[in-house]
Amino acid sequence: MNIEANRNEDWMKLKVSETRQHTDKIRLGGGKKAIEKQREKNKLTARERVEYLLDKNQPFVEIGVFAGFDMYEEYGGCPSAGTVSGIGYVSGRQCVIVANDQTVKAGAWFPIACKKNLRMQEIAMENFLPIIYLVDSAGVFLPMQDEIFPDKEHFGRIFRNNARMSAMGITQIAAVMGACVAGGAYLPIMSDETLMVEGNGSIFLAGSYLVKAAIGEDIDNETLGGAITHTEISGIADYKFKTEHECLDEIKKIMGKLGDKPVAGFNRIAALPPVKDANELYSIMHAGNAKPYDMLDIIERIVDAETTDTTQSSFDQFKKDYGKTILCGYARVNGWAVGIVANQRLIVKNKKGEMQLGGVIYNDSADKAARFILNCNQKKIPLVFLQDVTGFMVGSRSEHSGIIKDGAKLVNAVANSVVPKVTIIIGNSYGAGNYAMCGKAYDPRFIYAWPSAKIAVMGGDQAAKTLLQIQVASMKAKGKSVSAEEEKTLLDKIKGSYEKQTTPYYAAARLWVDDIIDPVDTRLVISEGIAAANQNAHIEDLKTGVFQV
């Protein structure tokens, strides 16, 4: 490995290490004291519950680890949105798991907690996966009730989704292991089966204090809505258990009896390892993503080898010598057939011999990618997007050549694509390039970011200079003079604020991406995403809208 590769590796590994340090802190939830209080009540933590439930030696892809990161600081924060969730295997069945973390504000629902829970239900609905709820929540976080209660994508949408999933035939199992209060009480009852733990689990529309205030009745919470009450008197719950482990064991039994259902039938063969070492992914991208690199080097360390006795990867390029700033081709990832659409960061020549900047979408590359996406839909092959894009080419030459028309054609193909899409943001994700390469707004089944990712309407330097020009012009219009030194100070301030908003942490905190992943886990999350998508047998017919040719 040369000096530059070593420098690249150090930079990327530092990024990965920073992500792990944040993750370790997040996984403590409300902190060690809150965890000890949980233990005093003979309760497991949310993470311990999930770990006990999951099959051993099977992957668990956590979703939304960074949800709420650096948000709600005035309330003491909300690590991981007060919820542990992801996709894993229980009794051999891939499923979605959502567990309230009682150590974070008693499991109360912040706005981002609602968004995260809706995201998990969306994953279950899109992929026809069973969903398990491990309930332990004090309900809506009252100081922010106006941001979580009444709107379409707020708290009530969760129960609407419960009803819709039931109608779709998606299995829902709810284990009430702590509080389940007010509107939240509907979630377990709208699930297929409800389990409760004696002594800690409770379900009621109003707790004992509110009952006393509202109607003057004196009653304790256990009598009001505990496990014995709801399994012997109201009939609301289906099972009661002395311990959490017994409760979780019953969930495993239920999951083990689920019948098989039709699958989408995406092509899969025996998996082969990549031809090149995945650990070398750390050394390909330059520090700060400041220089071009060959996206083929990334792809060859993610996709399967072509055969057991070859050094050739399974990546079979489509229109290899045309539209070179986007790479398209068929490949396999852990045995799954995929179509890959990836931004090429190298400076390349087009068919006319003209130089094209890497990471920029030109007319020809947009045209090629749109056609390839339609081909994958025709063949029922899932799509993988590898993003490192600075946007579409600008300037008079591009405008006169119809870059907007060709860009619209690509966006149309992405928006109307009916096969599952998995997006990995490796580096830059700027402007309309984010859209064309299947950003969050274009419904990827799953979307992940490397620690090197940057998501924004444009790069920090360009944005800061644009905003500076606007502010300086405004100040001069008011008769204020601005020195060169003042301009530089203002520029640095603007750039610092803007660049904070471009980090993967900022994006993951708001669930613009499902998680920040270690580059070596890219192959795993793609494979598990397609395995999940394969559980939904229904694929609509491809229909494209009106576009200019």
Question: How confident is the model over 64-81, as pLDDT tens digits?
Answer: 999 999 999 999 999 999
What is the percent of the chain where pLDDT is above 90? 78
Closest-CA residue to 84 (of 49, 58, 126, 38)? 49
**Per-residue model confidence (pLDDT) at position 353:** 85
- The region of weakest confidence among 296-300, 420-424, 500-504, 519-523 is 500-504
**Distance of alpha carbon 157 from its chain centroid, rounded?**
19
**Per-residue model confidence (pLDDT) at position 492:** 80
**Per-residue model confidence (pLDDT) at position 392:** 93
Task: Quote the tokens at residue 144.
Answer: 């922010």
- The region of weakest confidence among 156-160, 437-441, 458-462 is 458-462
pLDDT above 80 for 387: yes
The β-bridge relationship of strands 391-392 and 360-361 is parallel
Residue 290, helix vs strand vs coil: coil
Residue 330, helix vs strand vs coil: strand
Average pLDDT over residues 362-375: 96
pLDDT above 90 for 275: yes
Q: Cα separation of 506 and 73, whole Å?
A: 14
Average pLDDT over residues 181-203: 91
Residue 387, helix vs strand vs coil: strand
**Per-residue model confidence (pLDDT) at position 484:** 80
Q: Which residues of 407-438 are buried (b: 16+ CB within 10 A; e: fewer)?
A: bbbbbbbbebbebbbbbbbbbbbbbbbbbbbb
Number of neighbours of residue 119 by Cβ within 10 angstroms: 18
Q: Which residue has the higher pLDDT, 482 or 282?
A: 282
pLDDT, the chain, mean: 93
CA atoms lying within 13 Å on the CB side of residue 154? 14
Q: Cα separation of 74 and 93, whole Å?
A: 41
β-partners of residue 342 are 327, 386
- The region of weakest confidence among 135-149, 154-168, 186-200, 509-523 is 135-149
**Can you give 152-194 as a three-state secondary structure string?**
CCCCHHHHHHHHHHHHHCCCEEEEEEEEEEHHHHHHHHCCCEE
**Per-residue model confidence (pLDDT) at position 247:** 98
**Distance of alpha carbon 371 from its chain centroid, rounded?**
27
Instruction: Give the pLDDT band (50/70/90) at residue 465.
Output: confident
Q: Residue written as tokens 């931004």?
A: 343
Q: Residues 468, 469, 474, CA angle at the centre, nearest 5°?
A: 100
Q: Cα separation of 464 and 497, whole Å?
A: 9
Instruction: Give the pLDDT band (50/70/90) at residue 441.
Output: very high
Q: Indicate if the alpha-carbon torsion angle 187, 102, 18, 277 is positive or negative.
A: negative
**Per-residue model confidence (pLDDT) at position 470:** 82
Average pLDDT over residues 513-524: 98
The distance between the two most distant Cα atoms of the chain, rounded to a whole number of Å, is: 84
* pLDDT tens digit sequence for 308-359: 887 899 999 999 999 999 999 999 999 999 999 999 999 988 888 888 998 9
Contact, 24 vs 18, CB < 8 A?
A: no
Phi/psi of residue 341, nearest 5 degrees: -120, 115
What is the percent of the chain where pLDDT is above 70? 99
Average pLDDT over residues 197-204: 94
Q: Cα separation of 254 and 90, whole Å?
A: 10
Q: Residues 83, 86, 90, CA angle at the centre, nearest 5°?
A: 115
* pLDDT tens digit sequence for 2-30: 889 999 999 999 999 999 999 999 999 99
Average pLDDT over residues 519-546: 94
Q: Residue written as tokens 């907007």?
A: 404
* pLDDT tens digit sequence for 103-117: 999 999 999 999 999
pTM: 0.94
pLDDT above 70 for 525: yes
pLDDT above 80 for 520: yes
**Per-residue model confidence (pLDDT) at position 1:** 63
Average pLDDT over residues 242-253: 98
What is the C-alpha radius of gyration for the chain, rounded to an integer number of angstroms?
26
Average pLDDT over residues 462-483: 78
pLDDT above 90 for 208: no
